[in-house]
Structure 1
Amino acid sequence: MSDWTAGYVADIGYTYGYYTELNPLRVKLPFLDAGIAFPEIGAACELGFGQGMSANIHAAASAVQWWGTDFNPAQAGFAQELAVASGAGARLFDQSFAEFCHRADLPDFDYIGLHGIWSWISDPNRAVIVDFVRRKLKVGGVLYLSYNTQPGWAAMVPMRDLLTEHAEVMGAPGQGIIGRIDAALDFADRLLATHPIYARANPLVADRVKKMKEQNRNYLAHEYFNRDWHPMSFAAMAEWLTSAKLNYACSAHLLDHVDAVNLSAEQQQFLQTLPDPMFRQTVRDFMVNQQFRRDYWVKGARLLNLLDKTEQIRTHRVILVAPRNGVELKATGSIGEATLNEGVYLPILDLLADHKPRTLNQIEQAVKDKGLVFAQVLQAVMVLVGKGDLAAVQDDKAITKARPYTDKLNAYLMNKARGSNDLAYLASPVTGGGIAVNRFQQLFLLARTQGKKTPEEYAQWVWHLLAAQNQRLTKEGKAIESVEENLAELTGQAQEFVEKRLPVLKALGVTG
């Protein structure tokens, strides 16, 4: 009997994550910063969409037509459920890559995305995907691809192989994947306690195993316990994509574009001596001990002239998606945490504190009396988008068109939040993507739709919902037992929500 899983974990669902790098609207800023022309995206595809949160949010929140597949029928079923709820028309299937990539009804795509798939599939499946990209990605189209990479994973590869071998060989029949994971991690602890020379030669492995024990078991199952798990160097990745005629464009992780938080002055100077841009990426990975790459590739990179680059980047719109007082003037890169220059960042954040979209040109004009020049504005925006404090804004026509679909999808997700803590994102028609909104914040929004108007009323409504399910809040890791204390905690959270988070969600079109 054939194995439809192809060695991929299928007896436990993937997490309900949302991945902002898959949002096609994010392509513009890093492409413009790199001086590369970007396509107008009308048709997009996500291969291996997991639970389908990203695909459905992007389909609802933009004018882009989305297609996609995930081999796991349970996950595809949930994704299709979301697609029906929003009515945005996402075409999502439960086919293998080989089946989906040879469908006769697929359009040509402007954008294809794979997040966290490449490292966990076999070479034959990689070949199918590369052939698909070669045939179906339009000239000028963009591929987003993230993957575990060397050298950052080099020390962990033997330990990962040992963990999966333990789960396969030593796991009890019928134990289930979570039980096998727990047993494998316990075995790793006992092994490391014997002080093997491997651990002394690779001292960070013990810390990584300790961190694994604290992580979600659904995540660990898919991250570490598939049959295939192949961290790949950037050079090997580039070799795979050669036949699809793809050029490396730039990193999709915007903080990678800011050398000051990732490389020492000496390292920056060393890289500048390397004339080959592809080899430069490989060397850079050694400097930062890269573990996970998030990259944009383009079929036929076209460089913009200076005038076109300047004009287009100045018209790019952004919005503050975090409460103004919640933005920390710190950024974390490969060399640690850096403190951001108050003289540059405070004027920009103060300007954007009203959560209204502005172009980079408007920002520049508004802060030029502070002595700031456009280069400083651009770098600050790149950093703030990379940190998740700012987001790109789509055009007003697209916002208006998306709003009915995001309203329906958000209503469905918030209704799910009544009984589950799994779904922690809602869709924004302004950013064309997802916004983190935790369960209680979603329930407060739901209370507003039920006519509740004050934080006290929100808290009472939510408490009745929780009490009916025999659920309690926790504080400092301990359950709150009394009704009065639960209501007090909920009221405090609701008050903070009204003051800090609700204005942002209104500005982003998540709620009215």
Structure 2
Amino acid sequence: MSDWTAGYVADIGYTYGYYTELNPLRVRLAFLNAGLVPPEVGTACELGFGQGMSTNLHASASVVQWAGTDFNPAQASFAQELACVAKSNAQLFDESFNQFCNRSDLPEFDYIGLHGIWSWISDENRNIIVDFVRRKLKVGGVLYISYNTQPGWAAMVPMRDLLTEHAEVLGADGAGIISRIDSALAFAEQLLAANPSYARANPQIAERIKRIKGQDRNYVAHEYFNRDWEPMAFAKMAQWLEPAKLQWACSANYLDAIDAVNLTAEQQALMASIPDPMFRQTTRDFCVNQQFRKDYWVKGARRLSSLEQTEVLRSQRVILVLPRSDVSLKINSNLGEATLQEAVYNPILDQLADHQHKSLGQLEDALKSSGINFAQIIQAVMVLSSNGALMAVQDDATTNMAHERTKRLNNYLMTKARGSNELNYLASPVTGGGISVSRFQQLFLLALQQNHKQPQEQAKFVWDLLAMQGQRLIKDGKTLETAEANIAELNAQANEFMTKRLDILKALKIA
């Protein structure tokens, strides 16, 4: 592996994922719920942007000026191509953190994001990043950072070290990273089958190895097989960020704000007895066996009065981005599966079922007769946003300014979807970020653009593309071999798209 990688896996590309927590618009509701003044974001930066999907979806769907870097030139090239297509003016580079963070042409930023970077880099790079945040994050600015943490990773640390040592020492000479990963996982299974004391003391490890075997190898390579890998306790993270004058603001995982679904009554009482907010977070991580933290940190937290908090929350607009019938009233939390109160959630969802954005104040007025108070609305919005059913909406002027950019980017991504199943997100100028849109749904949109208005026409359009490439659909784990079976399945999917998804995509200004 060449020196420019700094120990990071570079011979296999990262996945084309999108991470909604990186959306600056998402900070607003989290801060308001925590009683903090949210930032006004005009400039933003992502360090280690991977394939650049998040950066580009956010840059095209807002008026925020983005900059960022990723050390991998192939990934940076793709990201630059997306920025060029959208004409977003995002400044994206293939520089190391040291090179990028010492550029003289970068502005100060209102928002800096690092998703899945901190745990996989050296202390030298961590020092560079903290110094960059100290110098370049504005007063009142926000840092989003996600990272592997303790105690959830404690049992896996020695097994991860074993996997990487096997890949390095016993991996076949000249074998690619995927072959070495598979070989290392096979050895781990051999070891566990021998019933070592480690496995008896940590019975959950066998199940974790089984899950890893079923995961995308691009993800596994970048998650487990870098040279640097350190799950970090919350208190240690706070020590790292102290020189940059950062304070922990709140979790970027909205569901973390709802203690009732994460902590038992006894645990909640314990937490309430701890006066120090930072030590409360450390203790909470033990209660939930935290494995991965997603946090917002702020340079100078300012609290809102209760009146200010309520007034600004009432003006917050949201939109339902899933079909009403697809929204489950069950959520998975640290305490297991929880059932949401139908008497509260159904009226709220009914108000939003037309997929038109509404302010929380409008919801409050509409639901007074149902006996639902504002606090219940806020909690429901946090829960429904955490599972992707609801998203925050930006102002109309910004939506209109971003619309042409998102159209350009989306057309490019949909065109790529003709031959690829990797790009499963499109940009919405309404939400300021990405929306999950599967490959076939993107192709149905392309068919509509070409005036194929009926589901059967759209199905044929997609089938012609697949047949040309020798591709077939898979249903219930089985490949559909005949043209008739493929077309029948595409017809069913096109009908569902037209009846359940198209109106939502129109409301999001994607269709």
Q: Under a length normalisation based on structure 1, what TM-score does the superposition of the two structures give?
A: 0.99
Equivalent residue letter for 2:246: L
Q: Measure, in 2, the Cα distance between the counterparts of 1:44 and 1:233.
A: 27
Aligned residue for 2:489, secondary structure, equals helix
Which moves more between the two structures, 330-339 or 407-416?
330-339
Structure 1, unmatched stretches of 5+, are: none
1:432 alignment counterpart: 432
* Deviation, structure 1 residue 57: 0.2
* Deviation, structure 1 residue 431: 0.2
Could you list the structure 1 runs, at least 4 aligned residues long, displaced by more than 2 angstroms after superposition: none
The alignment status of 1:319 with 2:319, answered yes or no, reads: yes
The alignment status of 1:271 with 2:271, answered yes or no, reads: yes
Q: Measure, in 2, the Cα distance between the counterparts of 1:63 and 1:104.
A: 23
What do residues 315-339 of structure 1 show as CA deviations (whole Å, max 9, x unaligned)?
0000001000000001111111100
**Superposed counterparts of 1:367-386, under 5 Å:** 367-386=367-386
Equivalent residue letter for 1:112: I
Which moves more between the two structures, 220-229 or 476-485?
476-485
CA RMSD of aligned residues (A): 0.7
* Deviation, structure 1 residue 436: 0.4
Structure 2, unmatched stretches of 5+, are: none
1:498 alignment counterpart: 498
User: Identity of aligned pairs, percent?
Assistant: 69
What do residues 61-117 of structure 1 show as CA deviations (whole Å, max 9, x unaligned)?
001000000000000000001111111111100000000000000000000000000
**Superposed counterparts of 1:39-438, under 5 Å:** 39-438=39-438
Q: Measure, in 1, the Cα distance between the counterparts of 2:234 and 2:474.
A: 44
**Superposed counterparts of 1:404-483, under 5 Å:** 404-483=404-483
Aligned residue for 2:4, secondary structure, equals coil
Aligned residue for 1:485, secondary structure, equals helix
Q: Measure, in 2, the Cα distance between the counterparts of 1:498 and 1:270.
A: 51
What do residues 363-403 of structure 1 show as CA deviations (whole Å, max 9, x unaligned)?
01101101111000010001000111000000000000010
Q: Measure, in 1, the Cα distance between the counterparts of 2:337 and 2:446.
A: 38
Equivalent residue letter for 2:17: G
Aligned residue for 1:509, secondary structure, equals coil
Equivalent residue letter for 2:182: D
* Deviation, structure 1 residue 443: 0.5
Q: Measure, in 1, the Cα distance between the counterparts of 2:451 and 2:32.
A: 45
Q: Measure, in 2, the Cα distance between the counterparts of 1:476 and 1:318.
A: 35
Q: Measure, in 2, the Cα distance between the counterparts of 1:335 and 1:500.
A: 32
* Deviation, structure 1 residue 2: 6.8
Which moves more between the two structures, 478-487 or 155-164?
478-487
1:25 alignment counterpart: 25
Q: Measure, in 1, the Cα distance between the counterparts of 2:218 and 2:39.
A: 36
Aligned residue for 2:5, secondary structure, equals coil
Aligned residue for 2:375, secondary structure, equals helix
Equivalent residue letter for 2:481: E
Q: Measure, in 2, the Cα distance between the counterparts of 1:306 and 1:364.
A: 17
Equivalent residue letter for 1:377: I
Equivalent residue letter for 1:386: S
Q: Measure, in 2, the Cα distance between the counterparts of 1:453 and 1:126.
A: 53
Aligned residue for 2:268, secondary structure, equals helix
* Deviation, structure 1 residue 429: 0.4
Q: Measure, in 2, the Cα distance between the counterparts of 1:365 and 1:381.
A: 15
Q: Measure, in 2, the Cα distance between the counterparts of 1:510 and 1:405.
A: 11
* Deviation, structure 1 residue 306: 1.5
What do residues 32-74 of structure 1 show as CA deviations (whole Å, max 9, x unaligned)?
1111111210000000000000000000000100000000000
Q: Measure, in 1, the Cα distance between the counterparts of 2:264 and 2:2.
A: 52
Aligned residue for 2:146, secondary structure, equals strand
Q: Measure, in 2, the Cα distance between the counterparts of 1:6 and 1:486.
A: 46
Aligned residue for 2:3, secondary structure, equals coil
Q: Measure, in 2, the Cα distance between the counterparts of 1:258 and 1:387.
A: 13
What do residues 193-233 of structure 1 show as CA deviations (whole Å, max 9, x unaligned)?
00011000001111000000000000000000000000000
Q: Under a length normalisation based on structure 2, what TM-score does the superposition of the two structures give?
A: 0.99
What do residues 380-430 of structure 1 show as CA deviations (whole Å, max 9, x unaligned)?
001000111000000000000010000000000000000000000000000
Equivalent residue letter for 1:439: R
Change (3 A) 1:440 1:2: closer
* Deviation, structure 1 residue 273: 0.2
* Deviation, structure 1 residue 158: 0.2
Aligned residue for 1:4, secondary structure, equals helix
* Deviation, structure 1 residue 172: 0.8
* Deviation, structure 1 residue 450: 1.1
Q: Measure, in 2, the Cα distance between the counterparts of 1:265 and 1:319.
A: 33
Q: Measure, in 2, the Cα distance between the counterparts of 1:303 and 1:351.
A: 31
* Deviation, structure 1 residue 275: 0.1
